[in-house]
């Protein structure tokens, strides 16, 4: 089974692009959703995160706003958080891949925001970066509830620059021209991945 890593900086349209792959019938692993499940009541990350950052759990679940306040501008705190979350999320990803393989999927997509930053691209056959011009990215992100220019800049500082991601990618998909255009690009990539998987399997 071919693994396509999907990534892109905040506000580029990565999540919407992941949904286009789902529309096409491709299994998609959502790293953000996996983390949400880990943070939810009963999630495997709740107890270790509360132990590391007392006071960030509310009602049995991690309060993401409180946690963000604690770690966003603190590189050491972010490392401690990642040391808790990444292994747990990695186990969920392995489970997804095994399920997709047993379902006979010719290829699957790993939707991971920090794909390159965490070295996740090593586990992919190909990578796809979703992009848009910086002014469109900024406009989209600042339109989100509770996002300030300072928050936006802090998030960007944690992410690899868009130009570097594009330089490392096998495929680049632009969302600057609307999602009908993006859908056509996704369909072309799906057709190529299926053909490559078929060729690989003889």
Note the pLDDT of residue 179.
Answer: 84
Q: Could you tell me the fold of the domain covering 2-200? A: Rossmann fold (3.40.50)
129/3 Cα distance (integer angstroms): 14
Note the pLDDT of residue 157.
Answer: 87
| pTM to 2 decimal places | 0.86
Helix 64-71 and helix 75-102, axial crossing angle in degrees, nearest 10: 130
> What contacts 168, CB < 8 A, 6 or more positions away?
116, 121, 127, 129
Q: What is the pLDDT along the chain (202 residues), one digit of tens a residue?
A: 999 999 999 999 999 999 999 999 999 999 999 999 999 999 999 999 999 999 999 999 999 989 988 897 788 998 999 899 988 988 889 999 999 999 999 999 999 998 998 899 999 999 999 999 999 999 999 999 988 999 899 888 888 999 999 999 999 999 999 889 999 999 999 999 999 998 877 5
Note the pLDDT of residue 202.
Answer: 55
């Amino acid at each position: 089974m071919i693994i396509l890593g999907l990534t892109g900086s905040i506000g580029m349209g990565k999540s919407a692009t992941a949904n286009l792959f789902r529309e096409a019938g491709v299994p998609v692993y959502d790293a953000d959703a996996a983390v949400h499940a880990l943070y939810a009541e009963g999630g495997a990350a709740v107890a270790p995160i509360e132990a590391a950052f007392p006071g960030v759990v509310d009602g049995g679940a991690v309060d993401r706003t409180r946690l963000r306040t604690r770690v966003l501008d603190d590189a050491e705190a972010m490392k401690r958080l990642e040391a808790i979350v990444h292994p747990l999320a990695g186990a969920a990803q392995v489970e997804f891949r095994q399920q997709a393989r047993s379902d006979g999927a010719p290829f699957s997509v790993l939707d991971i925001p920090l794909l390159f930053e965490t070295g996740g691209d090593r586990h992919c056959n190909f990578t796809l970066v979703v992009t848009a011009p910086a002014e469109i990215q900024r406009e989209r992100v600042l339109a989100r509830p509770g996002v300030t220019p300072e928050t936006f800049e802090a998030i960007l500082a944690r992410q690899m620059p868009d130009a570097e991601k594009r330089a490392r990618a096998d495929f680049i998909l632009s969302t600057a021209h609307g999602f009908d255009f993006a859908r056509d690009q996704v369909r072309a990539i799906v057709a190529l991945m299926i053909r490559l998987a078929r060729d690989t399997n003889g």
